[in-house]
Structure 1
Amino acid sequence: MTQHSQIETLSRRSALKGFVTIAGAAVTLPALGSLAACSSAPTSLEGLMPLVRGIADRIIPQTDTPGAVGAGVPDYVAAVFDAHFTADQQSDFAGGLEAIAAFAKDEGVTSFESADADKMDAALAKLAAGEGSGSANAAWSELRDLVIFGFYTSEEATQELSYEEIPGRYEACLPLSEVGRAWLDRGV
Protein backbone atom coordinates (compact mmCIF):
# COMPACT_ATOMS: atom_id res chain seq x y z
CA MET A 1 0.00 0.00 0.00
CA THR A 2 1.41 3.39 -0.93
CA GLN A 3 1.50 6.37 1.31
CA HIS A 4 -1.07 8.13 -0.87
CA SER A 5 -3.64 5.31 -0.50
CA GLN A 6 -3.11 5.21 3.29
CA ILE A 7 -3.94 8.90 3.55
CA GLU A 8 -7.13 8.41 1.52
CA THR A 9 -8.18 5.47 3.75
CA LEU A 10 -7.60 7.45 6.94
CA SER A 11 -9.41 10.35 5.45
CA ARG A 12 -12.43 8.23 4.53
CA ARG A 13 -12.46 6.65 7.98
CA SER A 14 -12.31 10.05 9.61
CA ALA A 15 -15.15 11.29 7.46
CA LEU A 16 -17.26 8.23 8.19
CA LYS A 17 -16.52 8.50 11.91
CA GLY A 18 -17.48 12.18 11.87
CA PHE A 19 -20.69 11.45 9.99
CA VAL A 20 -21.69 8.71 12.45
CA THR A 21 -20.92 11.01 15.38
CA ILE A 22 -23.08 13.81 13.97
CA ALA A 23 -25.92 11.44 13.08
CA GLY A 24 -25.77 9.87 16.55
CA ALA A 25 -25.88 13.29 18.20
CA ALA A 26 -28.82 14.32 16.03
CA VAL A 27 -30.75 11.24 17.19
CA THR A 28 -29.66 11.28 20.84
CA LEU A 29 -29.86 14.96 21.86
CA PRO A 30 -33.63 15.42 21.35
CA ALA A 31 -34.26 12.26 23.36
CA LEU A 32 -32.05 13.52 26.18
CA GLY A 33 -33.84 16.88 26.07
CA SER A 34 -37.21 15.21 26.49
CA LEU A 35 -35.89 13.19 29.43
CA ALA A 36 -34.77 16.39 31.10
CA ALA A 37 -38.28 17.81 30.69
CA CYS A 38 -39.74 14.76 32.42
CA SER A 39 -37.69 15.39 35.54
CA SER A 40 -38.93 18.94 36.10
CA ALA A 41 -41.92 19.52 38.32
CA PRO A 42 -45.11 19.68 36.23
CA THR A 43 -47.32 22.74 36.44
CA SER A 44 -50.83 21.90 37.59
CA LEU A 45 -53.97 23.41 39.04
CA GLU A 46 -53.78 21.17 42.12
CA GLY A 47 -53.77 24.03 44.66
CA LEU A 48 -56.47 25.94 42.75
CA MET A 49 -58.90 23.04 42.24
CA PRO A 50 -61.19 24.05 45.17
CA LEU A 51 -61.60 27.43 43.47
CA VAL A 52 -62.26 25.80 40.06
CA ARG A 53 -64.81 23.41 41.62
CA GLY A 54 -66.56 26.23 43.48
CA ILE A 55 -66.82 28.45 40.41
CA ALA A 56 -67.91 25.56 38.17
CA ASP A 57 -70.63 24.72 40.69
CA ARG A 58 -71.90 28.31 40.59
CA ILE A 59 -71.82 28.49 36.77
CA ILE A 60 -73.85 25.27 36.32
CA PRO A 61 -75.24 24.20 39.70
CA GLN A 62 -76.88 20.89 40.40
CA THR A 63 -80.66 20.99 40.10
CA ASP A 64 -82.80 17.97 39.23
CA THR A 65 -79.96 17.17 36.80
CA PRO A 66 -76.24 16.93 37.60
CA GLY A 67 -74.30 20.19 37.62
CA ALA A 68 -70.80 20.92 36.36
CA VAL A 69 -69.15 19.28 39.37
CA GLY A 70 -71.31 16.17 39.01
CA ALA A 71 -70.34 15.99 35.34
CA GLY A 72 -66.63 16.05 36.20
CA VAL A 73 -66.01 19.44 34.59
CA PRO A 74 -63.28 20.51 37.08
CA ASP A 75 -61.27 17.44 36.07
CA TYR A 76 -61.86 18.36 32.41
CA VAL A 77 -60.55 21.89 33.08
CA ALA A 78 -57.46 20.45 34.78
CA ALA A 79 -56.88 18.04 31.89
CA VAL A 80 -57.14 20.84 29.30
CA PHE A 81 -54.80 22.96 31.43
CA ASP A 82 -52.22 20.17 31.70
CA ALA A 83 -52.39 18.81 28.15
CA HIS A 84 -53.22 21.78 25.92
CA PHE A 85 -52.09 25.03 27.53
CA THR A 86 -48.59 26.27 26.77
CA ALA A 87 -46.35 27.17 29.72
CA ASP A 88 -47.21 30.86 29.25
CA GLN A 89 -50.93 30.11 29.08
CA GLN A 90 -50.68 27.96 32.21
CA SER A 91 -48.90 30.75 34.05
CA ASP A 92 -51.42 33.38 32.93
CA PHE A 93 -54.44 31.19 33.76
CA ALA A 94 -53.13 30.17 37.19
CA GLY A 95 -52.26 33.79 37.95
CA GLY A 96 -55.72 34.85 36.84
CA LEU A 97 -57.35 32.26 39.10
CA GLU A 98 -55.29 33.59 42.01
CA ALA A 99 -56.48 37.10 41.09
CA ILE A 100 -60.08 35.80 41.13
CA ALA A 101 -59.48 34.36 44.62
CA ALA A 102 -58.07 37.72 45.79
CA PHE A 103 -60.99 39.62 44.24
CA ALA A 104 -63.50 37.24 45.86
CA LYS A 105 -61.77 37.64 49.22
CA ASP A 106 -62.17 41.42 48.90
CA GLU A 107 -65.87 40.78 48.21
CA GLY A 108 -66.24 38.71 51.39
CA VAL A 109 -65.85 35.24 49.87
CA THR A 110 -63.04 33.52 51.74
CA SER A 111 -63.62 30.04 50.33
CA PHE A 112 -65.53 28.98 47.25
CA GLU A 113 -66.15 25.58 48.85
CA SER A 114 -67.99 26.84 51.93
CA ALA A 115 -69.11 30.40 51.19
CA ASP A 116 -72.69 31.55 50.89
CA ALA A 117 -74.02 31.04 47.36
CA ASP A 118 -75.40 34.59 47.19
CA LYS A 119 -71.99 36.10 48.07
CA MET A 120 -70.27 33.91 45.47
CA ASP A 121 -72.84 34.81 42.82
CA ALA A 122 -72.44 38.53 43.60
CA ALA A 123 -68.65 38.31 43.29
CA LEU A 124 -68.88 36.35 40.04
CA ALA A 125 -71.44 38.81 38.65
CA LYS A 126 -68.99 41.64 39.33
CA LEU A 127 -66.27 39.69 37.52
CA ALA A 128 -68.63 39.09 34.60
CA ALA A 129 -69.32 42.83 34.50
CA GLY A 130 -65.57 43.48 34.25
CA GLU A 131 -65.02 44.89 37.73
CA GLY A 132 -61.99 42.71 38.52
CA SER A 133 -58.39 43.13 37.41
CA GLY A 134 -57.46 42.36 33.83
CA SER A 135 -56.01 38.95 34.70
CA ALA A 136 -59.01 38.05 36.88
CA ASN A 137 -61.47 39.02 34.13
CA ALA A 138 -59.52 37.07 31.49
CA ALA A 139 -59.31 33.97 33.70
CA TRP A 140 -63.01 34.25 34.56
CA SER A 141 -63.98 34.41 30.90
CA GLU A 142 -61.74 31.48 29.97
CA LEU A 143 -62.89 29.37 32.93
CA ARG A 144 -66.54 30.10 32.18
CA ASP A 145 -66.07 29.00 28.58
CA LEU A 146 -64.24 25.82 29.63
CA VAL A 147 -66.95 24.95 32.16
CA ILE A 148 -69.80 25.48 29.70
CA PHE A 149 -68.08 23.57 26.91
CA GLY A 150 -66.98 20.80 29.27
CA PHE A 151 -70.48 20.38 30.65
CA TYR A 152 -72.40 20.47 27.38
CA THR A 153 -70.07 17.93 25.79
CA SER A 154 -70.47 15.52 28.72
CA GLU A 155 -72.94 12.67 29.12
CA GLU A 156 -74.67 14.55 31.94
CA ALA A 157 -75.76 17.26 29.49
CA THR A 158 -78.02 14.70 27.82
CA GLN A 159 -80.07 14.69 31.01
CA GLU A 160 -80.52 18.45 30.84
CA LEU A 161 -81.14 18.88 27.12
CA SER A 162 -83.36 16.84 24.90
CA TYR A 163 -81.83 16.07 21.53
CA GLU A 164 -83.49 14.87 18.37
CA GLU A 165 -81.08 14.47 15.45
CA ILE A 166 -83.79 14.75 12.79
CA PRO A 167 -86.55 16.87 14.28
CA GLY A 168 -90.19 16.36 13.43
CA ARG A 169 -92.50 19.14 12.44
CA TYR A 170 -91.62 22.78 13.00
CA GLU A 171 -93.54 24.68 15.63
CA ALA A 172 -92.32 28.24 16.06
CA CYS A 173 -93.84 29.02 19.43
CA LEU A 174 -94.37 26.25 21.95
CA PRO A 175 -94.78 26.58 25.71
CA LEU A 176 -91.80 25.14 27.58
CA SER A 177 -94.20 23.20 29.84
CA GLU A 178 -95.20 21.09 26.82
CA VAL A 179 -91.62 20.38 25.79
CA GLY A 180 -90.29 19.73 29.29
CA ARG A 181 -86.76 21.03 28.76
CA ALA A 182 -84.82 23.25 26.41
CA TRP A 183 -84.01 21.49 23.15
CA LEU A 184 -80.73 21.35 21.35
CA ASP A 185 -81.32 21.28 17.60
CA ARG A 186 -77.75 20.37 16.59
CA GLY A 187 -74.63 19.02 18.21
CA VAL A 188 -72.28 21.28 20.10
Structure 2
Amino acid sequence: MSDANRKITRREALKTALAGSALAATGLLGAGMPGSAGAAVATPAAARDDQALLEDIADILLPTTPASPGAKAAGVGAMMMLMLADCESPETQQRVATGLQELRAACRERGGGFASLPVAERERLLMELDGAARKVGDKHWFNSVRALALQTYFNSEVGLTRALRYIPVPGRYDGCVPLEPGQPAWA
Protein backbone atom coordinates (compact mmCIF):
# COMPACT_ATOMS: atom_id res chain seq x y z
CA MET A 1 0.00 0.00 0.00
CA SER A 2 1.47 3.36 -0.96
CA ASP A 3 1.85 6.16 1.58
CA ALA A 4 -0.93 8.10 -0.15
CA ASN A 5 -3.39 5.22 0.28
CA ARG A 6 -2.29 4.25 3.80
CA LYS A 7 -4.98 4.57 6.45
CA ILE A 8 -4.07 6.87 9.30
CA THR A 9 -4.72 5.74 12.85
CA ARG A 10 -6.65 7.86 15.30
CA ARG A 11 -3.49 8.35 17.38
CA GLU A 12 -1.54 9.62 14.34
CA ALA A 13 -4.39 11.97 13.42
CA LEU A 14 -4.51 13.41 16.95
CA LYS A 15 -0.73 13.85 17.04
CA THR A 16 -0.82 15.67 13.70
CA ALA A 17 -3.71 17.88 14.82
CA LEU A 18 -2.00 18.70 18.12
CA ALA A 19 1.28 19.50 16.39
CA GLY A 20 -0.49 21.76 13.90
CA SER A 21 -2.42 23.48 16.69
CA ALA A 22 0.74 23.99 18.70
CA LEU A 23 2.49 25.50 15.69
CA ALA A 24 -0.43 27.79 14.98
CA ALA A 25 -0.81 28.73 18.63
CA THR A 26 2.83 29.67 19.00
CA GLY A 27 2.64 31.70 15.82
CA LEU A 28 5.02 29.55 13.80
CA LEU A 29 2.62 29.20 10.90
CA GLY A 30 1.83 32.91 10.75
CA ALA A 31 5.22 34.30 11.77
CA GLY A 32 5.96 37.60 10.15
CA MET A 33 2.47 38.14 8.81
CA PRO A 34 1.22 41.65 9.65
CA GLY A 35 -1.44 41.57 12.33
CA SER A 36 -0.86 37.92 13.15
CA ALA A 37 -0.07 36.58 16.60
CA GLY A 38 3.04 35.03 15.06
CA ALA A 39 4.61 38.43 14.49
CA ALA A 40 5.46 38.54 18.22
CA VAL A 41 7.31 35.19 18.11
CA ALA A 42 10.96 35.64 17.20
CA THR A 43 11.79 32.25 15.69
CA PRO A 44 10.59 28.66 15.62
CA ALA A 45 13.72 27.79 17.63
CA ALA A 46 12.65 30.19 20.41
CA ALA A 47 9.23 28.53 20.61
CA ARG A 48 10.87 25.07 20.79
CA ASP A 49 13.23 26.36 23.51
CA ASP A 50 10.27 27.74 25.50
CA GLN A 51 8.42 24.44 25.11
CA ALA A 52 11.44 22.44 26.28
CA LEU A 53 11.98 24.77 29.25
CA LEU A 54 8.30 24.56 30.26
CA GLU A 55 8.49 20.77 30.06
CA ASP A 56 11.67 20.71 32.17
CA ILE A 57 10.02 22.94 34.80
CA ALA A 58 6.94 20.68 34.83
CA ASP A 59 9.17 17.62 35.22
CA ILE A 60 10.77 19.10 38.34
CA LEU A 61 7.32 19.91 39.73
CA LEU A 62 5.93 16.47 38.78
CA PRO A 63 8.92 14.08 38.65
CA THR A 64 8.91 10.43 37.76
CA THR A 65 8.30 8.24 40.79
CA PRO A 66 8.06 4.46 41.21
CA ALA A 67 4.27 4.84 41.15
CA SER A 68 3.93 7.01 38.02
CA PRO A 69 5.84 8.64 35.15
CA GLY A 70 6.65 12.34 35.40
CA ALA A 71 5.53 15.33 33.37
CA LYS A 72 8.23 14.89 30.74
CA ALA A 73 7.12 11.29 30.16
CA ALA A 74 3.59 12.60 29.66
CA GLY A 75 4.87 15.10 27.06
CA VAL A 76 3.21 18.14 28.64
CA GLY A 77 5.38 20.77 26.91
CA ALA A 78 3.38 21.03 23.68
CA MET A 79 0.07 21.16 25.51
CA MET A 80 1.40 23.79 27.93
CA MET A 81 2.38 25.97 24.96
CA LEU A 82 -1.02 25.41 23.35
CA MET A 83 -2.92 26.23 26.54
CA LEU A 84 -0.77 29.30 27.15
CA ALA A 85 -1.40 30.60 23.63
CA ASP A 86 -5.10 29.72 23.41
CA CYS A 87 -6.40 30.13 26.94
CA GLU A 88 -4.31 32.78 28.67
CA SER A 89 -4.53 36.54 28.29
CA PRO A 90 -1.87 38.41 26.30
CA GLU A 91 -0.64 39.90 29.59
CA THR A 92 -0.13 36.44 31.09
CA GLN A 93 1.58 35.24 27.91
CA GLN A 94 3.96 38.20 28.07
CA ARG A 95 4.56 37.69 31.80
CA VAL A 96 5.45 34.02 31.22
CA ALA A 97 7.73 34.85 28.27
CA THR A 98 9.55 37.47 30.36
CA GLY A 99 9.76 35.08 33.30
CA LEU A 100 11.27 32.33 31.16
CA GLN A 101 13.91 34.78 29.93
CA GLU A 102 14.69 35.76 33.52
CA LEU A 103 14.94 32.08 34.46
CA ARG A 104 17.36 31.47 31.60
CA ALA A 105 19.49 34.40 32.81
CA ALA A 106 19.50 33.02 36.37
CA CYS A 107 20.52 29.61 35.05
CA ARG A 108 23.39 31.12 33.03
CA GLU A 109 24.64 32.79 36.22
CA ARG A 110 24.60 29.36 37.89
CA GLY A 111 26.58 27.76 35.12
CA GLY A 112 24.38 26.76 32.20
CA GLY A 113 20.89 26.08 30.96
CA PHE A 114 18.09 24.86 33.20
CA ALA A 115 18.30 21.28 31.91
CA SER A 116 22.08 21.16 32.42
CA LEU A 117 21.89 22.13 36.10
CA PRO A 118 21.89 19.34 38.70
CA VAL A 119 18.41 18.32 39.84
CA ALA A 120 19.01 19.70 43.35
CA GLU A 121 19.94 23.09 41.88
CA ARG A 122 16.86 23.10 39.62
CA GLU A 123 14.67 22.26 42.62
CA ARG A 124 16.30 25.03 44.67
CA LEU A 125 15.76 27.52 41.84
CA LEU A 126 12.08 26.61 41.52
CA MET A 127 11.62 26.81 45.30
CA GLU A 128 13.02 30.36 45.18
CA LEU A 129 10.60 31.20 42.36
CA ASP A 130 7.74 29.65 44.32
CA GLY A 131 8.60 31.78 47.35
CA ALA A 132 8.63 34.94 45.23
CA ALA A 133 5.38 33.90 43.53
CA ARG A 134 3.63 33.38 46.88
CA LYS A 135 4.62 36.93 47.94
CA VAL A 136 3.43 38.55 44.70
CA GLY A 137 0.29 36.46 44.19
CA ASP A 138 -1.52 35.73 40.93
CA LYS A 139 0.50 38.26 38.95
CA HIS A 140 3.72 36.20 39.10
CA TRP A 141 4.55 34.17 36.00
CA PHE A 142 5.51 31.05 37.96
CA ASN A 143 1.95 30.63 39.28
CA SER A 144 0.68 30.42 35.68
CA VAL A 145 3.36 27.91 34.70
CA ARG A 146 2.69 25.73 37.77
CA ALA A 147 -1.07 25.75 37.07
CA LEU A 148 -0.47 24.84 33.41
CA ALA A 149 1.88 22.01 34.42
CA LEU A 150 -0.65 20.53 36.85
CA GLN A 151 -3.57 20.94 34.48
CA THR A 152 -1.85 19.40 31.46
CA TYR A 153 -0.28 16.54 33.43
CA PHE A 154 -3.45 15.46 35.20
CA ASN A 155 -5.43 15.72 31.97
CA SER A 156 -2.91 13.62 30.04
CA GLU A 157 -3.36 9.89 29.57
CA VAL A 158 -0.34 9.23 31.79
CA GLY A 159 -1.62 11.50 34.55
CA LEU A 160 -5.16 10.13 34.46
CA THR A 161 -4.32 6.45 34.23
CA ARG A 162 -0.97 6.12 36.04
CA ALA A 163 -0.82 8.93 38.62
CA LEU A 164 -4.51 8.76 39.57
CA ARG A 165 -6.71 5.71 40.01
CA TYR A 166 -8.72 5.36 36.85
CA ILE A 167 -11.72 3.16 36.25
CA PRO A 168 -13.49 4.03 32.98
CA VAL A 169 -16.86 2.78 34.25
CA PRO A 170 -16.76 2.78 38.03
CA GLY A 171 -20.18 1.21 38.58
CA ARG A 172 -22.25 2.41 41.50
CA TYR A 173 -21.85 5.87 42.97
CA ASP A 174 -20.33 6.24 46.43
CA GLY A 175 -20.22 9.88 47.50
CA CYS A 176 -17.82 9.31 50.39
CA VAL A 177 -15.13 6.65 50.10
CA PRO A 178 -12.32 6.59 52.67
CA LEU A 179 -8.79 6.69 51.26
CA GLU A 180 -6.03 4.41 52.51
CA PRO A 181 -2.66 6.03 53.39
CA GLY A 182 -0.65 6.44 50.17
CA GLN A 183 -3.64 5.69 47.95
CA PRO A 184 -3.85 7.99 44.89
CA ALA A 185 -6.93 10.12 44.35
CA TRP A 186 -9.60 9.07 41.88
CA ALA A 187 -9.57 10.45 38.32
Query: Would you say same fold, with TM above 0.5?
Result: yes
Which of 156, 159, 162 aligns to 2:162? It is 159
Which of 141, 144, 167 aligns to 1:142? It is 144
Cα distance in 1, alignment partners of residues 103 and 135 from structure 2: 8
Structure whose CA Rg is larger:
1
Query: What residue identity is the alignment partner of 1:151?
Result: Y
SS at match of 1:100: helix
- 1:14 maps to none
Distance change (3 Å), C-alpha of 1:42 and 1:134? same
- 2:87 maps to 84
- 1:58 maps to 60
Task: For structure 2, list consecutive stretches of 5 or more residues without a partner in the other structure.
Answer: 1-32
- 1:174 maps to 180
Tell me whether 1:71 sits opposite 2:69 in the alignment. Answer: no
Aligned length: 145
**Matched-pair contact (CA < 8 Å) for 2:52–2:77:** no
CA RMSD of aligned residues (A): 3.3
Query: What residue identity is the alignment partner of 1:41?
Result: A
- 1:126 maps to 128
Task: For structure 1, list consecutive stretches of 5 or more residues without a partner in the other structure.
Answer: 1-34
Cα distance in 2, alignment partners of residues 162 and 156 from structure 1: 11
Tell me the alpha carbon deviations over residues 91-117 of structure 1, each in whole angstroms, 9 at most, x when there is no partner. 2220121122233444x2621222100
Cα distance in 2, alignment partners of residues 133 and 174 from structure 1: 35
Cα distance in 1, alignment partners of residues 37 and 131 from structure 2: 42
Measured after TM superposition, the shift of residue 120 of structure 1 is 0.5
Measured after TM superposition, the shift of residue 86 of structure 1 is 4.1
Tell me the alpha carbon deviations over residues 119-157 of structure 1, each in whole angstroms, 9 at most, x when there is no partner. 01011111111179969x811111011000100011101
Measured after TM superposition, the shift of residue 60 of structure 1 is 0.8
**Matched-pair contact (CA < 8 Å) for 2:74–2:158:** yes
Distance change (3 Å), C-alpha of 1:183 and 1:90? closer
Measured after TM superposition, the shift of residue 81 of structure 1 is 2.5
66-75 vs 164-173, which moves further:
164-173
- Using structure 1 for the length normalisation, give the TM-score: 0.62
**Matched-pair contact (CA < 8 Å) for 2:76–2:153:** yes
Cα distance in 2, alignment partners of residues 134 and 96 from structure 1: 13
- 1:37 maps to 35
Tell me the alpha carbon deviations over residues 44-90 of structure 1, each in whole angstroms, 9 at most, x when there is no partner. 73332332122111011122322111112111111122333444432
Distance change (3 Å), C-alpha of 1:40 and 1:98? closer
Distance change (3 Å), C-alpha of 1:175 and 1:143? closer
SS at match of 2:117: coil
